[in-house]
Structure 1
């Protein structure tokens, strides 16, 4: 049975079957909602149910979410005609999703727990994607692991991933221990709605935590490739200097391009680090530097707790319009 879904404030409508999520139904019909993992973990697709009945599935809803009528569109299924609130709904900028093999071209351990992986596509194959999107590595047992693409579109046959070692992680344990050049991985992509949507050319706050730097790097490199001059403010949060695993590259961008600023922020620097830069939570540095964000966009990528805090504080304290906060929350899967 199909139910009619109405999305406000646009008034756009689509049909959702009882056994598919509200998000999957929208994407199937060429409509795009903010989303990330599509598995109930990242929270990027959280939105309000204004009218109607939904089954929330495996969505983990807090008491505050329930009181506000919020759900995860990637988990929720319609049980009647439903009206949703999603200001960022638009016609999908859909690119073809491909399933391809790729050969490991390069392995670089850029920090004790971060591996930069370059994958070479088969001859005569390319992957069209938006800077900031991700791919799913397909494992032999049917599981998948999602990683953001860290290079700009148009880099032809090479794809770059930044992979953090997760202790006990089913995929990363094996990758860090055994992967070697010329190994073959299979993937599908591109996926996700985390990419720049800025027709008004507002200044961008690019907020990264840890390996959340990967899609931010892709966005910056795409901006440079296309010779955009929109101001970019890169805030990269990490624990210690060694965790800023491409600090030299980000510093080089800022030194060579007047429209780029780079602000690294450390939360747990030790005396021996001799750190004289910014300290604390990375999104607090943004709040301090930009008490008025009403004319900006924020693109945030990192752990869910960082994303939630940044979204709340940028909107409530700094007047950021709610529909100008874009996020990709990284979650980690253990064995």
Structure 2
């Protein structure tokens, strides 16, 4: 059977979404094997897919052509040691394949010798039959060994396996790709997967996960101490490790608002912009070591100035938990609104408390989604839609 790919990997290779592939599987256009697809079937469904169309190829080419800054390399290419390990593993697989081909050819030589030896000891019709069978086998093997069609998706998957690694979570069976120098936690959040975590800085230990298979590597220091027993069981902090190879990890995923803790964070105003005369967009940024954990559609309480407060829905996606967006409406006589419109300055501290609310996306539902905006404004809908897009819902 041809090499099998997960939906996440297959979608990446052909430039489609998981949802699009799922629809093709449901309609019978794309054959699936327990949620996996074969490379040959994927190419048959997307015959226009070519090597040069891969996103990884395009991005690396852009880097070379435009000589992007070092930070762009860091965002797209894995850590040097991780890249070296993946290339080494790829070389090992190539060496093993070449060794198997060599042993196969040697075995074929022994088989032909055994045929000729048996033919020489036989006579009449038996010898003739053996001769015909030997020539037929030699012809078929020669045909099979001829260089044939090279599946471009297999080449692209080889490139993808070097530039990224796939993570499968248990028991939820969710999967995502780790690209560039992202940690396991960062990659999960970008993909819309709500892993349990706290500080995201290696201090609280809430993002523990157990490596079931595959290899991870510590890329960031953490102060939280793991016991010897945990280390022996393969427990790591997801905020401080990246995937070297494809890995399977046992880790808790948020099931609902009850799993989100109440938090108090001192954020700073990074920027503000007038969406119109009556609405201003606030962009708050949390400290690197204390990001806001929330679900799309939830709200928080903001405090500015001396003690001016307002409860506002978050207008950004949980996939970027450090950069929080809010829509503030002008309300004459409202102390919070007046302060935001007339006095709030860049880099000023804004206290954030929360989150609250149960107006969240039910990710397991396969029904169509309709959003109706009323008094609450567009902010929570924007957060929900961005989260749905990160999940490719």
**Range of TM-score over shorter length:** 0.3 to 0.5
Select the structure of larger CA radius of gyration.
2
Q: Which has the higher contact order (CA 8 A, sep 6+)?
A: 1
Q: Which has the higher helix share?
A: 2
User: As a proportion of its length, which structure holds more strand?
Assistant: 1
TM-score (normalised: structure 1)? 0.39
